[in-house]
Structure 1
């Protein structure tokens, strides 16, 4: 049986209440729900790498289906960024997915690593959705979802061997997030983050990044802020990769879908002019 923490309001301030309201309202979100229908892996992150350009040559009556299938393949593959960066993990390890959404990343990590994963999310219908998938798969004891705030996670100090955040830190205060993730990690534990962020060496807050913030009710951070926050929390980076160029094809393909939301051009503009970066950062708790 799935064990879920449901205590408190979880939204602690005006911004978090606005963000929670944004996600609470998105119960019929086709760009997420249609993509995961075949394999029960529902993602709230995007992807890097080239897409199969032959899907654009698919006959009109099957073209949209082919585009969505390819987008989903890319999103599934994106989780390999975390797996490859995290490195070897024993089956006895325990990990946390910070901002777990409908569970796609948590399920993939559990399947690939064979260890227990706890997801934390403050959107109740996301948690309930992920719990249903865990029960249907018979994974209740391996992947558990907790209704809570990932900045005040319902676990004691040093509970985890690793923590991951898959495109969720732009909804947080970065210093508070890194401090909390460091608290949750055992000494020597690892934290892996994928994120899009502002390249403040180019422009601290371009028009494209402002529009993305407005679209997602987020406040993405400057690239430099992440490294300041990691250092302040005793999280020492051991791998940093920038995939800005590789992040563009996903948005190019999504622009061909009938489910495009209008933010696609903003991501493409930001990546092309260099004001927006896509980063994967792995760090170790000292």
Structure 2
């Protein structure tokens, strides 16, 4: 690593928590639960899903069952991106959009394919950035979909750069007030921010073993539902849609619990959703014109 690279990394990864998180992702360079699924069609996701699955595949012969489970998981994860594209509305091809925590680029590519717009992914996992940039070249869209080594709470973009911003299951890794303040800064007045997230139902519990187990597994800090709404309001982001899909989030984890690639976090998610300790939300908000 060069001196310039070390300086850049220290500027992007700012504290001990971010160092731990960065190490967590940089060490996951052979994560089959993401890579094997993405090889099906070149869309590599780092999020989960909602909706039911074809339960007949669980009755398939053992030698075929795993292949069918992975195919169905990938279908659900790919269709999940529709939660983002639907909530973004009718973006013109001239729009510029930011993907906060872009992973290996699956959502970024699908948003570009849907609207024809420019998408800037922001991520501080270097091997994810390199992977996604290669995919952009292969897909012939590197002029419209770019990936930046940066911290999504402290981006290199000018004020009012973006017509829209989204985060797809990444806000549990950041301080919400810091992140939403940055999103409001780089979002134009009237622009839309869409988030999909799992969050603690703080009307039910202050803490729970299932939520703590997920935090430990992913090196994250799951926020309360009320914290999301307050942080949005405090930063001039006015919700226009709040969709609770908690019940619909259960089947994905039921399916994944049957896969040989399961990682041990399946039961905490199932327990959290079933007990209503954990919620799965889609929120769309607009930046106030006078914010």
**TM-score with structure 2 length normalisation?**
0.95
Q: Distance in 2 between matches of 1:138 and 1:218?
A: 34
1:115-147 per-position Cα deviation (integer Å, ceiling 9, x unaligned) = 110000000000000011001111110110001
Alignment partner, residue 206 of structure 1: 208
> What's the counterpart of residue 28 of structure 2?
26
Is there any run of 5+ residues in structure 1 with no aligned partner, and where?
none
Rounded Cα–Cα distance in structure 2 between residues aligned with 1:280 and 1:213: 20
Deviations 1:21-63 (A, max 9, x none): 1101000000000000021100000000001112112221111
Q: Which residue of 2 aligns with 1:43?
A: 45
Unaligned runs of 5+ in 2: none
Tell me the distance in 2 between the aligned counterparts of 1:41 and 1:231: 34
Across the two proteins, how many residue pairs are aligned to each other? 282
2:242 corresponds in structure 1 to 240
1:123 aligned to 2:151? no
1:7 aligned residue: 8
Matching residue of 2:197: 195
TM-score, structure 1 as length reference: 0.97
Note the C-alpha offset of 1:7.
3.4
- How much does 1:8 deviate? 4.1
**Aligned position for 2:107:** 105
1:145 maps to which of 147, 151, 165: 147
Please give the alpha-carbon distance, in whole angstroms, between the structure 2 residues aligned to 1:221 and 1:152: 20
- The residue that corresponds to 1:278 in the other structure is 280
The runs of at least 4 consecutive aligned structure 1 residues that moved more than 6 Å come to none
Note the 1:30-179 alignment, pairs <5 A: 30-179=32-181
Secondary structure of 1:35 counterpart: helix
> Residue 182 of structure 1: which of 181, 184, 203 is its match?
184
RMSD, matched Cα: 1.1
